[in-house]
Amino acid sequence: MISAGLGIYAIAIPALLFVLLAGTEIIWPCRKLVLGRYPRWRTHALFFATNAIVGRLLSFLVVVGVAANWADANQFGALNLIALPVWVDAIIAFILLDFAVWFQHLIMHRSPYLWRMHAVHHSDRDLDVTTALRFHPFELIVSTVYKSAIVALLGVPVIVALAFELWLNTNALFNHSNIRLPRKLERVLRLFLVTPDMHLVHHSTLIDEQKHNFGFALTVWDRVFGTYRAESILGAENQKIGLSNIDDARPSGFMWSMKQPIT
């Protein structure tokens, strides 16, 4: 019952945040878009719809919630070895899951095979809240299997696993958004959370800068492992977004983007 209630919030909260951020981008954009909103937004909406279908099909095999329920039913996983208060389990799980997502993102850039999938996300020549929806179904499958395995190995309680998914999705919408935060607020936030300005560096066309700022939520891992970069060497105003070998409107097309990993 609790997980079902959280499932409703997992849809409603990101949807509300999406509308809020999209509206803010239209009224007070941080950067002028190179390709504009249409047909980019249509393409990203099609990615969202496609991944929703793929996610539904995956639910018959494995999803994060199923993995968490299985671990709980079988008392499997590291967190089930020691009896700890739920709130302690939640804190440990959030930290370890956040690291796991950071590490997956790092490997996506290091592995030539995984990069072909992830490059679809990076090929967008603009960065706004809809870019957070631009992930190839191949990457969704890999991410779902990976996170489900981590959840099972850790023995993460189902309510915590679902709360983390909500946390991850809302942070992805926020740090991909084309909004400008007040300078002082941005500096304070990036001590703990990945901000739009910080994630902007990661979407640079410069390959070296793509190898920095892998965090989706917490900034601690980039700081600890030396992959943190405060700003592009070109400066935020002059930084180009996307892939260096693609300087046309092809990324705004859905079919071109879907075929990218296999071409």
pLDDT at 218 over 70: yes
pLDDT at 4 over 60: no
What is the predicted pLDDT for the residue at 197?
A: 96
20 against 263, higher pLDDT: 20
Tokens of 180: 């400008």
Residue whose C-alpha is closest to residue 208's, from 250, 180, 239: 239
Average pLDDT over residues 233-261: 95
Tens-place pLDDT, residues 113-170: 999 999 999 999 999 999 999 999 999 999 999 999 999 999 999 889 989 999 999 9
C-alpha span between 92 and 197 (Å, rounded): 28
Average pLDDT over residues 7-28: 89
Structural domains in the chain (count): 1
Alpha-carbon separation of residue 144 from 11, 28, 165, 252, 257 (angstroms): 17, 35, 11, 25, 21
C-alpha span between 17 and 169 (Å, rounded): 10
Q: Is 75 left (phi over 0), alpha (psi -120 to 50) or beta?
A: left
Looking at residue 218, the DSSP 8-state letter turns out to be B
pTM: 0.94
pLDDT at 87 over 60: yes
pLDDT at 63 over 50: yes
What is the predicted pLDDT for the residue at 11?
A: 80
pLDDT at 98 over 90: yes
pLDDT at 60 over 80: no
C-alpha span between 213 and 124 (Å, rounded): 17
Q: DSSP per residue over 149-196, as a string?
A: HHHHHHT--HHHHHHHHHHHHHHHHHHHS-----HHHHHHHTTTB--H
Residue 19: how many CB atoms within 10 A of its CB? 11
What is the predicted pLDDT for the residue at 235?
A: 87
- The model's confidence at residue 1, banded by pLDDT at 50, 70 and 90, is very low
What is the predicted pLDDT for the residue at 9?
A: 73
What is the predicted pLDDT for the residue at 3?
A: 53
- The model's confidence at residue 5, banded by pLDDT at 50, 70 and 90, is low
**Domain span including residue 129:** 2-262
- The model's confidence at residue 86, banded by pLDDT at 50, 70 and 90, is confident
Specify the range with the lowest mean pLDDT, choosing from 61-65, 72-76, 81-85, 90-94: 61-65
